[in-house]
Chain A
Amino acid sequence: MALLTGTRGYVVRKVTWSLGTLLFVLVFNFFLFRLLPGDPIKMYTRGRNTPSEQLIKLRAELNRPIGTQFLEYLSNPFASTINSTRFNRPVWELVAERVWPTVLLVGTAILIASVAGIWLGIRSGWRRGGTFDRWTTGATNTLYAMPEFWVGMVLIIALPMFPSGNINTPGVSGFPDVFLDTAWHMVLPVTALAIVYLAEYTSIMRASLVDELRQDYLQLARAKGLREDLVRRRHAVPNALLPTMTLIFLNFGFVIGGAITIETVFSWPGLGLLSYEALRGPDIPLLQATFLLFSIGVVVFTLLADLLYAVLDPRVSSQ
């Protein structure tokens, strides 16, 4: 149980840091968007024949003292009553609508890519310089060098049996149908995204495994008479896994941010696109909401990665 007490301090430290970061983000967020150029009222009223009384009312709203606005914001940054200036709807409603397509797309892609990437990395790293290694490294580097949107377009052209975009087919309803339809639509975008992530995971996993190859403890394990298979699985891989886990968790943090380019190619209505649209206004309430969400995503997953470190490598928490 000594391990647990040592870990407790570590956990408390990490959580405190994360909370501090979040608080900073909250404050920073507020002022950052008020420094952006552009006139939100002009943005909202462009294209509408808005009477001048209404304009004055809107301006008065925006021109309130910044201190008052800040306090109001701090009291509830997630307030459901705040409307997006561009869409004229509550911001969190807009965000909620876009969260699941993004999580579904990017989450699935990362899951597939990390499982496959780790497996490929281990196989090629363990027999470094072998045929498998050369082919895998060559292929992953090639794929990694391709821009996501280009991979996406190539897939659309090469595989016309899959839908070219969107999440659902108009008119499809009912439980199994919708589910299958969505999966069908996910094939191309998930593949495109996974291909790109795959290369990253494979090369990191391979590199860190190669680093472990010449370590003395592996020689010791072999000297004890362990089979190569066991040496790899019990000793080398757990140690080599750390950098890859960090990367995977950091990427999960960015899942929320969406993949703007892939979302664009496949007309996938996710959060990445929403934030791009918000930035064009600028739609300050919406920007605040999306940025806050992205920051929380990154902070939470970084924290999770830190905590996982302690589990994977007890040395981390004891220092």
Chain B
Amino acid sequence: MHPLVKRALTVALAAGLLSAPAAGALARTPDPSPSQAQSSQDKVTFTIGILSDVDSTNPFTGIVVEAYEAYALMYDYLVTSSPKDVSPQPSLAESYQEAPDKKSWTYKIRSGVTWSDGTPLTARDAAYTFNRIIDGDFEQTNYGNYVANIERAEATDDTTLVLHVKKPTPIMERLAVPILPEHVWKDIDGTKVKSYANEPEDGKPIVGSGPFRLVERRKGQFLRFEANKQYWGGAPAMDEVVMRVFLNADAMAQALLRGEIDFAYDLQSNVFESLKNKPGITTRSSKYPGFNEIAFNNGAALADGTPIGDGHPALKDKQVRLAISYAIDRETLVARVLNGNGAPGDTFIPSMYPALHLDPSVKQTYDPAKANQLLDAAGYAKGSDGIRAKDGKKLALRLFVRDGAESQATGEFVKSWLKDIGIDVTVKVMSEDALTEIIGQGDFDMFEWGWVVEPDPDYQMSTFTCGKRSYKDGDAIYADLSDSFYCNPEYDQLYDQQSGETDPAKRAELAKRMQQLVYDDAAYAITYYYDDMVAYRSDRWTGFVPQPDPDGSILFQYGVHSYLAIKPVSAASPGSGAAADTGSGMSGSLVAAVGGGAVVAVVAVLLVARRRRAAGADERE
């Protein structure tokens, strides 16, 4: 999935209308104890509040994070990522192996697994899924990158899947492709699949093999999943999982306080702060594989090297980019922009992936003196107005930020820091759509944005290769993945080398060298790694499994670890859950009375004031 998507959606929601006043109201609300609103028939239901609806339950169509979470509940995958350190781990394939000649990989599929309609799941289903993507057209859109190197999938018997590869590649341990039932999907051809909803009809669940099955869906409202108590990985402790859609974060926080939901995902920091220290609720800021950066126009060009765009020439000079990186106070950004929910950033594979992340020995930490020195040495002398210039061209740069509070705040900080070292910055706010367009054309100097890095770093690495710069089709220029237009033959060579390296240790070594190159060349000034902020009813649920251990995410992970591990509190330690429930009706009506009373009081006060004014107006008439 494209890393920008989640971020884009988050920001869109953050731009919502309610943040400030409603958050203030929230902070004053007393805490109502849980109500049993969710489930009608004594079922144990785990309800998750999400801020953007699953765009499609058809795994070939959806793109938002919430959709991928739904697929993970509904289907099995050959491999997953371990909760401990996000390393590859067998899943539906109980073991796998690369052939000695490196031309194929063999996956041993678990036996005895059945689809929810009773049909046995075999290696043939897996082979069908991969071949369908390889041969498909529309099917390629979401999973093309996983199969690009697979020639053919073959089931040699019911439990053996062989994937023949064109060349050795490490992606084979990271195949995040949901295995679909052949007997259902063979009837949905390449045309039909485009608009296939994959939603339950007449109360019949969607056929899947995962720990849950989708039984009901109302668009824009909720998705209801029923537990698969026969799941090979163990029966989930709950009977149902519900994902409930909220269109604003404050309402979601209220629902958590009232006990309508058990888990609130993807919170903004103001809502997150308002939920701290509420009884029965635990807030958690977890390590997340996302970073934000100030990206530089390293010299915009097409993939063939033809220059494009109107970037400031000074930014082609590595010393200038480095100077800017040294002028950014990352600690302040984390404290002031993220409210401390994150960490200063350096290299492009976040520290959430300890095996691959490079922790540079010499860090570009806040050092204005060093920044000034670098610019002096590069020949940029300060003019009478305090702005540096070289060959008569002023060091005046544009910085494009996105229309979200965090991006804009970062922009203003950077502007002031760069002013201190003699660089004049004009900050301009624009929508992400508009910015995407401008980046592709190379018409920028700097911009603020971010990425979410997947467990397999290949995609992220590719964004810095020469070949991923923009391309031309007819007269029009179109963006590819590169947004810095960084191009370094040495980097490209390392990229090619790692793409065929199936030894994890050797590949990690290459990944670190690549990060060092990009870091030393300051293609980006990575500002911070941000956290994933959630809150949940710890008075009701316990046993979440963080990924990675100990400070990673506890839900919306790579895999379904927490769903299989969490338990209702009352089951885990009898009594505590029941205690929390007593008196819920009482406190609920108390809150209503107090709240209603407050409203009446306010109205009354205003009325009296109005009455005076009304009397005055009557006299004038």
Contacts and interface: CB of A to CB of B under 8 A. Distances in A.
B is bound to A: yes
Interface in A271-307: 273, 280-281
B454 to A, nearest CB: 12
Given A97-B219, A167-B218, A156 B194 contact: no
Interface stretch (B20-28, B72-80, B344-352, B380-388): B20-28
A170 B222 contact: yes
B155 to A, nearest CB: 25
A132 to B, nearest CB: 12
A303 B38 CA distance: 45
B245 A166 contact: yes
A170 B610 contact: no
A157 B595 contact: yes
Nearest to A90: B195
B37 A169 contact: yes
A305 B482 CA distance: 57
A83 interface: yes
B56 interface: yes
Nearest to A280: B12
A235 to B, nearest CB: 23
A153 B244 contact: no
B38 A169 contact: yes
A23 interface: no
Given A165-B255, A280-B433, A89 B40 contact: no
A266 B250 CA distance: 10
B614 A46 contact: no
A158 B29 CA distance: 9
B613 to A, nearest CB: 9
Contact of B140 (A43, A50, A129, A160): A50
Contacts of A315: none
B481 to A, nearest CB: 10
Contact of A49 (B142, B247, B614): B142
A138 B218 contact: no
B610 A267 contact: no
A28 interface: no
Contacts of A168: 218, 221-222
A117 interface: no
B99 to A, nearest CB: 26
B65 to A, nearest CB: 10
B437 A39 contact: yes
B517 interface: no
A139 B603 contact: yes
B579 interface: no
Contact of A88 (B195, B221, B436): B195
A47 B5 contact: yes
B248 A265 contact: yes
A264 B38 contact: no
B505 to A, nearest CB: 28
A235 B545 CA distance: 74
A88 B194 contact: yes
Contacts of A47: 1-2, 4-5, 63
A150 B23 CA distance: 11
A43 B434 CA distance: 11
B32 A38 contact: no
Contact of A158 (B1, B21, B40, B595): B595
Given A171-B216, A171-B224, A137 B614 contact: yes
A61 B56 CA distance: 24
Interface in A100-145: 129, 134-135, 137-139, 141-143
Nearest to A263: B247
B254 A161 contact: no
A49 B598 contact: no
A158 B614 contact: no
Contact of B221 (A46, A50, A166, A265): A166
Nearest to B63: A47
Nearest to B223: A170
B293 interface: no
Contact of B22 (A142, A150, A163, A267): A150
A139 B604 CA distance: 8
Interface in B1-54: 1-2, 4-5, 8, 12, 16-18, 21-22, 25-26, 29, 32, 35, 37-41, 43, 45, 53
A267 B251 contact: yes
A54 interface: yes
14 contacts: A38-B433, A38-B437, A39-B437, A45-B141, A50-B140, A87-B56, A134-B610, A138-B609, A138-B611, A153-B21, A153-B22, A164-B260, A264-B18, A267-B221
Given A46-B8, A135-B611, A269-B221, 14 more contacts: A38-B433, A42-B437, A49-B141, A50-B140, A88-B194, A153-B22, A153-B254, A156-B251, A160-B592, A164-B258, A164-B260, A165-B247, A171-B41, A269-B220
Interface of B: 1-2, 4-5, 8, 12, 16-18, 21-22, 25-26, 29, 32, 35, 37-41, 43, 45, 53, 55-56, 61, 63, 137, 140-145, 194-195, 197, 203, 216, 218-222, 224, 240, 242, 244-248, 250-251, 254-255, 258, 260, 433-434, 436-437, 440, 473, 478-479, 588-589, 591-592, 595-596, 598-599, 603, 606-611, 614-615, 618
